Amino acid sequence: MSDNWWRGAAIYQVYVRSFADGDGDGTGDLTGVRSKLQYLADLGIDAIWFNPWYPSPMDDGGYDVSDYRDIEPVFGSLAEAEKLIEEAHGLGIRIIIDIVPNHCSDEHPWFRAALAAGPGSPERERFWFRDGVDGGPPNNWQSRFGGSAWTQAPDGQWFLHLYSSRQPDLNWTNPQVHTEFADILRFWFNRGVDGFRIDVADGLVKQDGLPDVDDPDGRLPYSDLDGVHEIYREWRKIADSYEDKRVFVGEMWLPDPQRFAMYLRPDELHSAFNFDFLSCPWDAKRLREVVDATRDAHAPVDAPATWVLSNHDVTRHVTRYGRADTSFSFADRQHKAPTDRQLGLRRARAAALLTLALPGGVYIYQGEELGLSEAEDLADEVRQDPVFRRTNGTDIGRDGCRVPLPWSGTESPYGFNTTGAAPWLPQPDDWSAATVAAQTGDEDSMLELYRSALRLRHAEPGLGDGPMTWLDVPEGVLAFARDDRFACVVNLSGAAVPMPPHTEVLLASGPLEGTDLPSDTAVWLRTHQAMGPSSS
């Protein structure tokens, strides 16, 4: 495997709770993942990113970690994780795990000790404990999950939590926090993990004095402060101390591409998720702008771009793309505008070919290869996301994209387990055609489209990381060459357009109309003659 494997890797995101349930208790686990490693190898992915697999009370799906050096017992054991890493490596699959350095669980021994030790204690210095002001919280910061970012301890002091009240923020001005996380990184690197996905990578440093937020739409005193870069320089040295390449991918939702790129300087993180691409509407002009802005921001720091359509925090893109407004924003998620599933699927198929042809790395969220929609009609009682709880349901939260996967059969649990135990979130009744078994061998299925595309991505020397050139095409169409033998054309306009001459179709996202490319369809082309670059 090449030393620069991550630059053009296709990375599959496993949300363990919902992937495959090996022990049949209704929750996914590592035994389940191990039983599907061959499926992932056959799909053609290069690496897996695991959402947090650590012991956790699961207040926020595992982003509330109570022990960073073990495995959640419902998921398995440390020994099993080690086995999984070895088996994946045997199949040529790298392993990236989540690290959650901004906050831990209120059940973490440090937080328990802090509560027990009381105000003014060194134990409280690992967190942000403050006295209140005028009977209220120390400042006006709001939790990203709704409500105040401060909760009162039984003795009256307040502690900061940018997320749920069971996720106290760690204090990165405390050297013990640095030492602890450096040690955790080594703990897992020594067990063979190839990289870390860094949760809330922009949030670790808080502005001195914890000032009030003046303008919620401006720079926030708890996001993207310059001090975070020192942390990633420390971390990069740790990764680089290993002989084979260990990497970081940052999770930052930042408005400014230039500030975003600062995290990707050569002595910091290797890559980061491209949420501008994920949030962009299905619109040729806007997508082209995002692709250009992404490439312009990444080039000076020589970092590969990444392309992301979905993850465990956002509405599944089949659903988004079937709506009148195809963009994503957290603020708008609660509007359950009607969606046209067939239209969404058609666009999602085209988007898959677009994404897998763009230069850089690509992330595939479990179930995206099956064309799953958002489960929008989950009953309030089954919803588990703290976002739903903390906003009293005004924001429906993220459970709808986290429903356990359908593997086989015609009714729930659709092969998610073999005991028939009810999955931790109910699966829709109409998933029998969406299962892996139902799609396998069906040339028109989303699964076979992903398999073919990933196979070609490996075989085509021009794909993965490398250059791209926009081609001259009518408005509403995106077309680019990756080398003088490969081009991708995506028609986002309302009408069919002629395909470039002297080309041969390698893969199409849907039926073609002779030599015309229908609306919301994409093709990968073998080019037999150099195609002229566009003027802009």
Q: Which residues participate in catalysis according to the annotation?
A: 199, 251
Tokens of 144: 């990203």
Among 60, 72, 106, 369, binds ligand NOJ (CB under 6 A): 60
CA distance 266 to 245: 14
Q: Which residue has the tokens 């739409």?
A: 217
Shortest separation between residue 488's beta carbon and ligand NOJ, angstroms: 29
Shortest separation between residue 307's beta carbon and ligand NOJ, angstroms: 17
Mask: binding to ligand NOJ, 82-121, rule CB under 6 A, as x and -? Answer: ------------------x---------------------
Quick check: helix, strand or coil at residue 494? coil
Q: What is the DSSP letter of 488?
A: E
Shortest separation between residue 253's beta carbon and ligand NOJ, angstroms: 9
What residues between 239 and 268 interact with ligand NOJ by CB under 6 A? 251
Under the binding rule (CB under 6 A), the answer on residue 163 touching ligand NOJ is: yes
Mask: binding to ligand NOJ, 419-438, rule CB under 6 A, as x and -? Answer: --------------------
Shortest separation between residue 100's beta carbon and ligand NOJ, angstroms: 6
User: To 5 degrees, how large is the angle CA 332–CA 307–CA 264?
Assistant: 105
Strand partners, 248: 196
Q: Please check whether residue 19 is in contact with residue 369, taking contact to mean a CB–CB distance below 8 angstroms.
A: no
To the nearest 10°, the Cα dihedral for 18, 21, 24, 27? Answer: -30
Under the binding rule (CB under 6 A), the answer on residue 224 touching ligand NOJ is: no
Under the binding rule (CB under 6 A), the answer on residue 520 touching ligand NOJ is: no
CA distance 136 to 151: 10
CA distance 532 to 523: 18
Judged by CB under 6 A, the number of residues near ligand NOJ is: 9
Under the binding rule (CB under 6 A), the answer on residue 196 touching ligand NOJ is: no
Among 160, 177, 200, 434, binds ligand NOJ (CB under 6 A): 200
Under the binding rule (CB under 6 A), the answer on residue 63 touching ligand NOJ is: yes
Residue 250 vs 371, nearer CB to ligand NOJ = 250
Residue 63 vs 260, nearer CB to ligand NOJ = 63
Q: Please check whether residue 192 is in contact with residue 82, taking contact to mean a CB–CB distance below 8 angstroms.
A: yes
What residues between 287 and 316 interact with ligand NOJ by CB under 6 A? 312-313
CA distance 22 to 362: 28
- Report cis status (omega within 30 of 0) of the bond before 413: yes
List strands edge to edge, sheet with 521-527: 469-470, 477-483, 486-491, 521-527, 503-508
Shortest separation between residue 533's beta carbon and ligand NOJ, angstroms: 38
Q: Please check whether residue 526 is in contact with residue 485, taking contact to mean a CB–CB distance below 8 angstroms.
A: yes
Shortest separation between residue 103's beta carbon and ligand NOJ, angstroms: 7
Shortest separation between residue 313's beta carbon and ligand NOJ, angstroms: 5
Among 29, 59, 72, 199, binds ligand NOJ (CB under 6 A): 199
CA distance 217 to 214: 9
Under the binding rule (CB under 6 A), the answer on residue 395 touching ligand NOJ is: no
Under the binding rule (CB under 6 A), the answer on residue 19 touching ligand NOJ is: no
Residue 60 vs 72, nearer CB to ligand NOJ = 60
Under the binding rule (CB under 6 A), the answer on residue 374 touching ligand NOJ is: no
Shortest separation between residue 61's beta carbon and ligand NOJ, angstroms: 6
Which of these, 158, 164, 13, 49, lies nearest to 102 by C-alpha position? 164
Cβ-in-10-Å burial (0-12, 13-18, 19+) of 455 comes to middle
Residue 81 vs 252, nearer CB to ligand NOJ = 252
CA distance 301 to 265: 5
Residue 231 vs 489, nearer CB to ligand NOJ = 231
Closest-CB residue for ligand NOJ? 63
Return the HEC string of 301-349: HCCCCEEECCCCCCCCHHHHCCCCCCCCCHHHCCCCCCCCHHHHHHHHH
Tokens of 167: 């996720």
Cβ-in-10-Å burial (0-12, 13-18, 19+) of 2 comes to exposed
Residue 63 vs 277, nearer CB to ligand NOJ = 63
Shortest separation between residue 398's beta carbon and ligand NOJ, angstroms: 7
Residue 304 vs 397, nearer CB to ligand NOJ = 397
CA distance 10 to 5: 10
Under the binding rule (CB under 6 A), the answer on residue 275 touching ligand NOJ is: no
Shortest separation between residue 424's beta carbon and ligand NOJ, angstroms: 16
Residue 43 vs 308, nearer CB to ligand NOJ = 308
Residue 195 vs 500, nearer CB to ligand NOJ = 195
Contacts of 107 (CB under 8 A, 6+ apart): 57, 64, 66, 166
Residue 177 vs 436, nearer CB to ligand NOJ = 177
Residues interacting with ligand NOJ, by CB under 6 A? 60, 63, 100, 163, 199-200, 251, 312-313
